Each structure stands twice: as C-alpha cells, then as structure tokens.
Structure 1
Amino acid sequence: MTVYLDVIWALNLLFDSLLLYLTAIFLKRRIQIWRLLAGGFIGSLIILLSFTPLHAYTSHPIAKLICSMFMILIAFGFKRLSFFFKALMTLYVSTFLIGGGLMGAHYFIQSDLELSVKVLASSVKGFGDPISWLFVLIGFPLAWHFARKNVEGMEMTKIQFDQIVNVQLQIENETLHFKGLVDSGNQLYDPLSKLPVMFVSVKNQSESVPESIGKIAAADPEQFIMGNQKVPDEWQHRLRIIPCKVVGQEHQLIVAIKPDLILIEHNGVQYLCEKGLVSFTMQQLSADDAFQCIVHPKMLTGPKQQGGAVKVS
C-alpha cells in the first residue's frame, strides 16, 4: 500500500495550526505566526512518529495529551497555571467542535450510494480514499469558519442580552412596556433642557400603542413647525422638536415627548428616570425584534428602586 506521508503530514500541520488559531480567537489572545506554525508542527509529529517503532506509544491517550500540552506551551507560552489549563481545554473544545461538525455532516449526507462509493474508492490504494480526503479538505475549512462565526455570534448575543432592559413608560393614563437596548452610542440630548432622549419603535405595535402616539411617530417634524400638522391638546406641553445628526445626513429634526414616568429595570434593579424624553419612530430598531427602544445610558443614573424602596446613589 502506498502511503503519501508528506501529504498527510502537511495536512495535519495545516489543521493543527488552524485549530490553534481558532483557540486563540476563542481566548481573545494575539498569537504570532511562528508560534502558531511551531505549535502545529508539534501536533503533526504524531503522524510522523506513527510510522516509527514508537507508534505504539504515540497512539496512547497520554501521549496525545502531552502533545497537546506542548502545543499550548509553544503557541501561547506559560503565564499562569489557570490560563494554561483554560487554553488546553479550549483547544480540545475547538477540536471536538470541528470534528463533531465533520462527523455530523458525514452522517447527514450519506445515502444508499455509500456502498458504490466504497467500491469505487477501493480500487485506489493509499492512506484513506480520495472521497474521504476530499470531504475533509472541503469540510474542515467550512466547519472552522462555521464554528468561528457562530461563537462570535453567540458572544454578540450575550453582550446584547446583558444590555437588554425592561422599559415602562407612563403618559397620561397610558402605561407602555417595551424591551430596550442600552446603547452607549446614543448621546442625544435636548439642546435646551439637556434631557436625554430615548428612541422607541412603534412599528408593528399598533394594538398596544395609542393612536395619537402612532400619528406623532409617523408625522414629519417640519409639519409641526409649519403648523400644518395639528398637535393634540393633551400633547401640547409635552412636545419637543430636537435637532440631531445621523449617518448620511448633516441635520435632522425629530419629535420627542416628555412622559410622566420612565422606569427601567435591569438585573432586578429598577431605575427611575424623572427627566427624560422619548422619540417615537416607525422605523424598526431591531431586525429580529429583540428590543423596541434604544435607551440613553444617562437614564440608568437615576434613583434605584429595590423591593419598592427608593435608593438614591
């Protein structure tokens, strides 16, 4: 049987290096190219040693564990014991993630033609068959990319979830409830009163939002200024016209309302915002409707309420 040792070793060097790179991404660590390749080279030595009298030892789980430890030491160095074990476990998680993805894809696409494929591949001698190597060559980069993107997506979802708050607005006799995202990039204030502004989307919320708010959200601010748009009497003392800057436009006017109460709940703590403005819009702020409003971070600096008691910090 012909064994293409150089090809097998080169592929394992590449795969081990990519696994170390994926580990570095998960750990949020910078890694030098030479360390990455050196760690991959250590991992690929098992392939070379498998064709020596030491093959009985290199196939042992303890030998593989020692090899993995050397890969981590060379790629990341030794800073402290806790980081070393964290990096080692992350390497195994990356390996199982990629390997599990390849196995799942293999069992997903296999069909009744598998027998004929094996018969066809049996005529080609070598270390494995061309079908399996082609599958690995195509599947490994795809699984690597899929794992990286999904982990990054989960991290962004976690970050976003940590910033999701419950928002309660009280205007006249109406009490409105929304999911809000605390956005440090929202630094809009009313230039006259210096009150922070919160953006609330009322799109697809016609049943829970009063008709008067929906009309204000859909109205053109300039129509209020020109007097072409009538303002309901109960909103006369609440209405504000605020200039703002958005991407692609130098200046823009928005309509804001001063509610009677803004109550924000985050991690079991309620923040009472006594001075703030709300700008209702018909634009959808979240593509997946995870939140309906963008909360100004200044609104979380108000008095805290825990168990009905108010705590001023």
Structure 2
Amino acid sequence: MTIYLDAVWTLNLFLDWLLLLCTQAIARLQVPKLRIFAGAVVASLIVPVTVYFPDSFLAHPVGKLLFSMLIIWTAFGFRSVTRFLKMLLLFYFITFAAGGSLFAIHYMLQTQAAFTPASFLTVSTGYGDHVSWLFVAIMFPIALYFTKSRMDKQRFEQFRYDQLYTVQVSINGIAHKTEGFIDSGNHLSDPLTKRPVVICDQLFLRNWFNEEDWQLLAQANDNLDLGLLPEDWPYEFSVVPYQGVNGEGALMLVLKPDSILIEMDQSPIETDRVWIGIQFGNLTADRRYHCLLHPSLVHDASTQAG
C-alpha cells in the first residue's frame, strides 16, 4: 500500500478549510478569510503527524482535544471562554455531522477509502482510485452544504418556536385557543382608534362562522362593502388600511373580538382593545400557528410583568 503524503495533505487541507468556513457561517462571525485558511493549514498538519508519528501525543484523546483548541484559536481567536468553547463544540458538531453523512454515503457506495481516528484518507495503490478521489471531492462539499442548510433551518424553526404563544380569542361569547406567532414586522394598527391588529387565518376564524356566513364575509371582503353583511349579525366589522408587500396601499377587513388572552410565562395579558385582521387563507403551510401577534401586545405584557 502506498500513501502519497502531498496528495493526502492537500485533500485534508481542502476539507478542513470547508469545515472551518461552515463553522464561521453558522456562527455568523466576521473573521478574515486568511485567518480561516491559516486554521485549515494547522488542522491539516495532523496528516504528516499521523503518518510519521502514529504513537505521538496527538493520537490520544487529550492530544486531539488540545490540537482542536489550537485550530479554533488560530481560525477564530480567543475573546472569552464561553465564545471559545462554543466555537470548539460547533466545530466538532459540524465535523461529526458532515463526516457521518460522508461515511454513510461511502458505506452505501462501497468506495475505496480509509477512515482513521485522526483524519480521512483515500488509500490505495498510487494516488488512489479515481472513484474515491471523485467521491471525496464531490460528496464532501455536498454533505457539508446539507449539514449547514439543516442547521440553519433548525435554527429558524427554533426561533419560530420560541416566539409562539397560546392565544385565546373570544368573539360573541365563544372562545377558542390556537398558537400565535410574534411578528416583529407586524405594525398594523387602526389609524383612528390606534388599536393594534392581530391577524388570524381562516382555518381558525371559521370556528365562529358556518359555510354560508363565511362566503358572505369573503364576498364583503372582495368588494370592500360592509353593506353586504347581514344587519342582525352580532359582530362588529371595520376596514384598516395597510401597505402590501408590493408597496401598494390596500384595505383589510377586521373584526372586533370580545377579548384576546395571550398566555405568557411572565404574566398573561388580556385585552379587548384590539382588532382581528381576517386572512382569507392559511398563514403557514405547516399550520403551526394561526395568529400573527402585534409586538406591542407582548411589549405591554413584559412591561406589566416588570
């Protein structure tokens, strides 16, 4: 068996560089690219150490940990213990996630490659089988991209989850609960009464309307004519102007509830000084929440709690 150290070192330098770039991107740190590359150079030095000194201190768990700390210090510096440990753990997580994906694909394809405790090496006679080199060069960036995209999506989903609150809406004496999302971009308010507008979708609002009544409501919304609604309805409607995503002005049909109760950890908040904006459709594809809460309501709750 022949191992061409320069080729293996070049490959590992490329992989380490991608890992550190991915770590930087997920951590959202502003670090010079040259410093990231310097960290990759340090990381790739494990290859000659592993080949020429297989029993060295760096081959042991403590040595590997110290070497990893050197990599993180070179690539990202040291500002605080918390930040340093966060970057170290993130680097390990990305390495294991991407490496695990690569190993799974390798196992499925049965590519000629060797995995050592210190690094990933393509090993065969000469420079390595062309399939193994193509496998690493093509599949590792794909695995890394998949790892980063999944982590970014998980972070966004966690952010959305952290902004969810149980909301109870009472209309005409009937109360129903659903999940509400704090929309920091929702600054919609009634310009006359200054009441904030909480937007609810049709899947939730149809708890108060039968099919015929909902069709009347949709017709009134399409024509912006409240005169189409029955006079004996026990609901109070109005329209609120707003600016659409295309920058054009529009009007939203709103409904006056009896009250809205937001169940917060600090202190629940209940108010009747609010409008319900009617969304004729679903707010989200996964139907995780059905209300867009006005941020001022949450601010008022935190103020009261304080």
Counterparts of 2:301 and 2:4, CA distance in 1: 71
1:296 maps to which residue? 294
Deviation at 1:99, TM superposition (A): 1.2
Amino acid in structure 1 at the alignment position of 2:13: L
CA change 1:82–1:164 in 2 (3 A) is closer
2:172–2:234 CA contact under 8 A, matched in 1: no
Taking every aligned residue pair, what percent have the same amino acid on both sides? 32
Relative to structure 1, the CA distance from residue 82 to residue 134 in structure 2 (aligned partners, 3 Å threshold; closer, same or farther) is same
Please point out which of 249, 254, 258 is paired with 1:251.
249
SS at match of 2:30: coil
Structure 1 stretches (4+) deviating beyond 4 angstroms?
Answer: 301-304
1:28 alignment partner AA: R
| Structure 1 residue 213, shift from structure 2 partner | 6.2
Q: Is the 8 A contact 2:202 2:280 kept in 1?
A: yes
State the 1:91 CA deviation: 1.7
Structure 1 200/213 Cα, relative in aligned 2: closer, same or farther at 3 Å?
farther
User: Is this contact kept in 1: 2:165–2:262, CA < 8 A?
Assistant: yes
Q: Deviations over 1:153-180 (max 9, x none)?
A: 1111111111111111111132122211
Please say if residues 254 and 275 of structure 2, whose CA atoms lie closer than 8 Å, have aligned partners that are also in contact.
yes
Shift of 1:273: 1.7
Which is worse superposed, 175-184 or 85-94?
A: 85-94
How far 1:294 sits from its partner (Å)? 0.8
Once the two structures are superposed, the pairs formed by residues 1-313 of structure 1 within 5 Å of their partners are 1-52=1-52, 54-57=53-56, 58-107=58-107, 109-110=108-109, 125-126=125-126, 128-203=128-203, 206=206, 208-211=207-210, 214-215=214-215, 217-221=217-221, 223-225=223-225, 227=227, 229-235=228-234, 238-248=236-246, 250-267=248-265, 269-302=267-300
Question: How far off is 1:276 after superposition?
Answer: 0.2
Name the amino acid aligned to 2:233. E
Provide the rounded CA distance (Å) in 2 between the counterparts of 1:202 and 1:271.
24
- 1:238-261: per-residue Cα shift (whole Å, max 9, x none)? 111111110125111111111111
From the superposition, tell whether residues 73 and 31 of structure 1 become closer, same or farther in structure 2 (CA, over 3 Å): same
CA contact (8 A) 2:98 2:144 kept: yes
Q: Residues of 2 paired with 1:49 and 1:259: CA distance?
A: 71
For residues 90 and 259 of structure 1, do their structure 2 counterparts lie closer, same or farther at Cα, with a shift above 3 Å needed? same
CA-CA distance at 1:13 after TM superposition: 0.6
Query: Which runs of 5 or more structure 1 residues have no equivalent in the other structure?
Result: 119-123, 305-310
- What amino acid sits opposite 2:256 in the alignment? K
Shift of residue 303, structure 1, vs aligned partner: 6.1
Displacement of 1:78 after TM fit? 1.9
| 1:195–1:277 Cα contact (<8 Å) kept | yes
Matched-pair contact (CA < 8 Å) for 2:267–2:301: no
Q: Match of 1:307?
A: none
User: Normalising by the residue count of structure 1, what TM-score does the alignment of the two structures yield?
Assistant: 0.83
Q: CA deviation at 1:270?
A: 1.7
CA contact (8 A) 2:216 2:229 kept: no
Which amino acid in structure 2 is aligned with residue 191 of structure 1? P
1:45 Cα deviation from its structure 2 partner:
1.2
User: By how many angstroms is 1:268 displaced?
Assistant: 6.5
**Residue 199 of structure 2 aligns to a residue in which SS?**
strand
How many residues in Structure 1 have an aligned counterpart in Structure 2? 292
Residue type of the alignment partner of 1:148: K
Segments of structure 2 that go 5 or more residues without pairing to the other structure are 113-123
Q: Please, which moves more after superposition, 125-134 or 64-73?
A: 125-134
Cα shift readout 1:19-45 (whole Å, capped 9, x = no counterpart): 112222333322211111111101111
Q: Residue 166 of structure 1 contacts residue 180 of structure 1 at CA under 8 Å; is this kept in 2?
A: yes
Q: Distance in 1 between matches of 2:264 and 2:188?
A: 21
Could you tell me which residue of structure 2 aligns to residue 121 of structure 1? none
Report the Cα offset of residue 182 of structure 1.
0.8
Taking structure 2 as the reference length, what is the TM-score of the superposition? 0.85
Contact 2:254 2:277 in 1 (8 A): yes
How far apart are the structure 2 equivalents of 1:136 and 1:301? 51
Matching residue's letter, 2:133: W
Give the root-mean-square deviation of aligned CA atoms.
2.6
Change (3 A) 1:50 1:169: closer
CA offset at residue 11 of structure 1?
A: 1.2
Tell me the distance in 1 between the aligned counterparts of 2:10 and 2:216: 65
